[in-house]
Structure 1
Amino acid sequence: MVARFLSLKLTLMGNTFRRSVWQTIGMIVAALYALGAVGLLIAAVVGLGLVGDPAWAGLAITLGGALAVLGWWVIPIFAFGVDATLDPHRFTTFAIPRRTLLAGLAVAGLVSVPGIATVLLALGVSFAWLLQPGVLLVSLVGAVLGVATCVLGSRAITTLLAPVLESRRYREVVTILALVLFMTIGPLVGWLANGVEVSVEPGSDSSTGMQLLPLFEQAAAVVGWTPFGAAWSLGSTAYDGDWAGLAGRLAVALGTVGLAWLVWDRALGRALVRPPVGDGSGGKAKGLGMFGRVPFSPTWAVTARTATYWLRDPRYSGSIAVIPLLPVIMYFTSQSTGSFFLLLATGPFVGWMLGFSISNDIGYDNTAFALHVSSGVDGRADRWGRAIPMLIAGPLVAAATVVASVWVADSWHLTLPLLGLAFGALLVSTAVSCAVSARLVYPVAKPGESPLKSPQGAAMATLVSQGIGFAVTAALALPVFAVGIPALMLGGVLWGLAAILVGILYGTLILVLAVRFGARVYDRRLPELLQQVQSFP
């Protein structure tokens, strides 16, 4: 029966290559990227164990494995569940014993790009102990237990929390929190790592000169006794000859796997009898909302609907929540580099990012785009309707970001040039979005799904579309940079006012021309756009 589950998962995985060219390209790119990353990591750790200090290899395996377990356990919570290709609820009528069902789902859960990458990496890094056969055997046992901890723990947590994960309010809050953490963790780690120094013992020879970082060494010692790192620390513990510690950590690893299996078994048994359903809660409608605050016309109707998206759709509101954090991120990055250049560039960057955020509005519409087709909304009304909310809120957000950045950097004399660059970047990127979104549409998360979810085949299409949009925006924004950058370097009020005038006037001209171009493309390709949006997986 386990082999049957594995066969089903392989068949379903193979069928993804038949759906569309974009899905095939996306799967191939993801597989090649994962294989390359795994190969580099294995080579680095194994080389460290064979040529360098094996203690460093043990440290890397313990901490890296703990991070892998943490990712397997936490990411599905933010992504609202695990891969549901083999949904256990589909097997309720087949009278399959629950233990057999658990075993089949656990093995099938490894048949994916992340699963295969985890297995290869776990087994590969164990060969860092190739020169110590006994330690190698212990490390391979730890790798098997570590992979089991990843899969079983992930399934247990998501199945246990399934009723909560189905709540719309939970999804909205967790989505924003996930985006905030994702945006801040990199710069924060870099800032912290900048203050870490490697300690070298005086008088040590070349073979023992490099010592483990005290902070990481202490962290590995603690993590090795937790469910996250116990399995991964077995090899390094055996290498140190700490047999009592090895027995204790093996007990922790086995206990974690057993507990995860028990929790998943109980939670799955409850879910099969009482499947989780949405809470059905939603906001209470009062009046017409934004539709009652705008004039009666097709353009303003699209404006009201777009504004409603920005206020109520987590796929939009999540990106808005990240904007105030960008100055903080740039501040920590500037602290690590010793320059405030990135902090001062936050305002123009926010303007560009806000304008480009509507570059795939049609894709976000999903089936609601049929309303535009059936109601006869023309291209100009659609283009302006999607741009107006950004033109109202965007300048305020960009200006506030500029003021915050110059205040922190104590560079008030650069306020006017930075405002000119920010307004120009906002208008030009909005213009490019109005033109590009009528021609290039790519798959995105559907309404109600996690914004972190990427549909199969969307990676390459997104990369191509955004790459083209970025290149066009950079080319069209050259006049804005040609005035704004000298204004930053030369200073003076006149140069600052010139940067603002050029940014606003030139950006407005490009916006008007882009809306006209986008409207013509939209009117000509309306049936194809509808067909393309409805074909998204």
Structure 2
Amino acid sequence: MAAPGVSPGLAPAPHGPVPGRAGAALPVRHLVGLKARILLNTLTRSTWVLVGTVVGAAYFLFLLVTSLVGLFLLGREELSLVRTVLVLAGSAATLAWWLVPVLASRADATLDPARLALFPLTVGQVQWGQALGALVGVPGALTALALAGSVLAWRSSAAAVLTALVCLPLALALLFTGSRCVTALAIGLSRRRRLTELLSVVALMGLVFLGPLFAGAVSGLELVWERLPEYAATLAWTPLGAVWALPADAAAGRWAAAAARLGVAALTVLALVLLWRVAQQRALTSTAGERAAAAGGSDGAGLLDRLPSRPWAAVAARCLIYWVRDPRYSAGLLVIPAIAVLLWLTRDPGGPNVLFHALGPMVAALMAYTISADVSSDNTAVHLHLLTGLRGVHDRAGRVLALLVVAAPLAALGLLLPLAVEGRWHLLPGLLGTTVLALLGGCGLASVMSARYTYPVAPPGSSPLKTPEGFTVLNVLVQFVALALMLVLTLPAAVPLLVHAAGGSAGWGWAALAAGLVLGPLLCALGVVVGGRWYDRRAPELLQEVARFR
């Protein structure tokens, strides 16, 4: 007997999709009908959902009509222009179908194989159901209509029109199978939290580079426009654009090129179908083996075994592990190179480039400031320090030591990169002193601040881009004050450096170096001691404060 609410053709099976058995109980049309029924129920479950659907449909219908009018007008132009436009637009549509559902976490899961695991379906039937089910929905329907409308652009050549009509199923297969293949692969990768976090960080870096890239594209818009035919000619030989260039080859009588592009498109679809099939099978059967392999980890305590048996060393080892494995820390490590590239792209080749030369001190200060959120990032795990009776000075010293291991190489690279690019090596002593003072003095200030003030951060295990709850204007004010204090602490070395850079004698640079080498360690040690005392006094209060950050 069929399960309640299931189509009569759906007979449950205990072992899920059958990899290779033909003639299974459920035909593909039941899957497509199920997709349509779920879509209809979703649209009619609420008046507001229905109103929103109507408004959205009107908007997308307007876009479709505009596209069809544009394609009709494009048909009046030369076939070379039609080829360029359609190859570029088709390649962009292919990339959108392949990547947007995964990057936006909006992949259609209505016909997810995991949901159909109880029914006697072959993997091939599930694939057919998912591929044809893509037409049941706004994106699939609009894409199919737009592809049909693209035939209007080839109307000046009968051969091109016939070829475009023949290629329509192949183009739809390229879009739909590619989308489902990438989604199926992403299901397995999504179980790896580190990869998801890395994608979040990459997205953040993309936002950092968005401004310079947009400015560069606008400044070189004329050159890009002139090279569009060249880009289209290149894409026409790739899996992204081969199918869209076939009508132009047919119109020009280039049958050998048309056959080659047809082979590229057909082989791409075949490879996507096979890879999609393998990904589906592995997604359904690979979890048990992966968990068993993960359970058999190596013996030992890792980094904790390699450092001295001292309280500060244990804290340093734990913090170093955080710097490697916790995305809230490692995201900062990836953003630093992004800032360096941003300053390099925006520098003036003939100007003073003060910000570019200050990259070393900037990196040092930013890295030092990160440990001001150490206690907040620990969240309730800070209770381990309380229960073991760890002294505050050891807690502060361990955190600073871990930071120095990570931040010192980055600050050194930030210091040397501008000098190597610009060649102003005479500024090295002053910049070195300022960098040392920013790093060590900032560590001292952050050691005091994290023991006195806590502010909400992304909770453990979440994305580094997640907005923390409970963030107030006071928290922002405290952080601005802390950054301003870091700037003040660097003045004893920064002022002589600026005098030297403005034309002063080399002695000013050496004075900046001396100030950094003397005041830096002193401020760091003072911050560790004072912060340790604050920590000893306020440890229970700190635990209560961070426990509220969820």
Letter in 1 for 2:547: L
- Other-structure match for 1:402: 415
TM-score, L = length of structure 1: 0.60
Counterparts in 2 of 1:334 and 1:154: CA distance versus 1, 3 Å = same
- Other-structure match for 1:280: 294
- Other-structure match for 1:151: 179
Question: 1:411 Cα deviation (Å)?
Answer: 1.0
**Aligned counterpart in structure 2 of residue 217 of structure 1, from 214, 224, 229:** 229
**Given that residues 97 and 176 in structure 2 are in contact (C-alpha distance below 8 angstroms), is that contact kept between their aligned partners in structure 1?**
no
**Given that residues 427 and 501 in structure 2 are in contact (C-alpha distance below 8 angstroms), is that contact kept between their aligned partners in structure 1?**
yes
Counterparts in 2 of 1:454 and 1:94: CA distance versus 1, 3 Å = farther
Q: How many residues align?
A: 468
Question: 1:179 Cα deviation (Å)?
Answer: 10
Question: 1:238 Cα deviation (Å)?
Answer: 9.5
- Other-structure match for 1:527: 544
Per-residue displacement from partner, 1:329-352 (whole Å, max 9, x unpaired)?
Answer: 469636886667354233123213
- Other-structure match for 1:449: none
Q: 5 Å matches for 1:93-492?
A: 93=118, 95=120, 98-99=123-124, 101-102=126-127, 132=153, 147-158=175-186, 162=188, 198=222, 212-213=226-227, 216-230=228-242, 237=248, 252-253=264-265, 256-275=268-287, 277-278=290-291, 279-280=293-294, 284-285=298-299, 289-290=303-304, 293-294=307-308, 296-297=310-311, 299-310=312-323, 320=333, 329=341, 333=345, 341=353, 343-358=356-371, 360-361=373-374, 365=378, 368-369=381-382, 371-372=384-385, 374-375=387-388, 382-391=395-404, 393-395=406-408, 397-427=410-440, 430=443, 431-432=445-446, 435=449, 438-443=454-459, 445=461, 458-459=466-467, 471-479=480-488, 480=490, 483=495, 485-492=498-505
**Given that residues 365 and 442 in structure 2 are in contact (C-alpha distance below 8 angstroms), is that contact kept between their aligned partners in structure 1?**
yes
Per-residue displacement from partner, 1:82-126 (whole Å, max 9, x unpaired)?
Answer: 899997446534555545644676799999xxx99x879979998
- Whole-Å Cα distance in 2 between the matches of residues 10 and 153 of structure 1? 26
**Given that residues 323 and 350 in structure 1 are in contact (C-alpha distance below 8 angstroms), is that contact kept between their aligned partners in structure 2?**
yes
Counterparts in 2 of 1:59 and 1:247: CA distance versus 1, 3 Å = same
Counterparts in 2 of 1:423 and 1:104: CA distance versus 1, 3 Å = farther
- Whole-Å Cα distance in 2 between the matches of residues 110 and 515 of structure 1? 64
CA RMSD of aligned residues (A): 6.3
Larger RCO: Structure 1 or Structure 2 (Cα < 8 Å, ≥ 6 residues apart)? 1
- For 1:441, what is the secondary structure of its paired residue? coil
- Whole-Å Cα distance in 2 between the matches of residues 339 and 10 of structure 1? 63
Letter in 2 for 1:477: M
Counterparts in 2 of 1:4 and 1:188: CA distance versus 1, 3 Å = same
**Given that residues 396 and 447 in structure 2 are in contact (C-alpha distance below 8 angstroms), is that contact kept between their aligned partners in structure 1?**
no
TM-score, L = length of structure 2: 0.59
Q: Percent identity?
A: 26
- Whole-Å Cα distance in 2 between the matches of residues 124 and 489 of structure 1? 65
- Whole-Å Cα distance in 1 between the matches of residues 413 and 205 of structure 2? 22
**Given that residues 306 and 389 in structure 1 are in contact (C-alpha distance below 8 angstroms), is that contact kept between their aligned partners in structure 2?**
yes
**Given that residues 447 and 527 in structure 2 are in contact (C-alpha distance below 8 angstroms), is that contact kept between their aligned partners in structure 1?**
no
- Whole-Å Cα distance in 1 between the matches of residues 541 and 135 of structure 2? 46
- Other-structure match for 2:117: 92
- Whole-Å Cα distance in 2 between the matches of residues 9 and 525 of structure 1? 50
- Whole-Å Cα distance in 1 between the matches of residues 369 and 149 of structure 2? 46
Any unmatched runs of 5+ in structure 2?
1-30, 43-58
Question: 1:477 Cα deviation (Å)?
Answer: 3.3
Greater shift, 339-348 or 99-108, is seen at 99-108
**Given that residues 88 and 241 in structure 2 are in contact (C-alpha distance below 8 angstroms), is that contact kept between their aligned partners in structure 1?**
no
- Whole-Å Cα distance in 2 between the matches of residues 476 and 393 of structure 1? 23
Per-residue displacement from partner, 1:339-390 (whole Å, max 9, x unpaired)?
Answer: 6735423312321342244455457657855534654657665455323321
**Given that residues 234 and 246 in structure 1 are in contact (C-alpha distance below 8 angstroms), is that contact kept between their aligned partners in structure 2?**
yes
**Given that residues 246 and 261 in structure 2 are in contact (C-alpha distance below 8 angstroms), is that contact kept between their aligned partners in structure 1?**
yes
Per-residue displacement from partner, 1:252-273 (whole Å, max 9, x unpaired)?
Answer: 5565345423432344235434
- Whole-Å Cα distance in 2 between the matches of residues 264 and 443 of structure 1? 35
- Whole-Å Cα distance in 1 between the matches of residues 174 and 404 of structure 2? 51
- Other-structure match for 1:23: none
Question: 1:154 Cα deviation (Å)?
Answer: 0.4
**Given that residues 429 and 509 in structure 2 are in contact (C-alpha distance below 8 angstroms), is that contact kept between their aligned partners in structure 1?**
yes
- Other-structure match for 2:15: none
Any unmatched runs of 5+ in structure 1?
13-34, 200-209, 447-452
**Given that residues 290 and 305 in structure 1 are in contact (C-alpha distance below 8 angstroms), is that contact kept between their aligned partners in structure 2?**
yes
Letter in 2 for 1:352: A
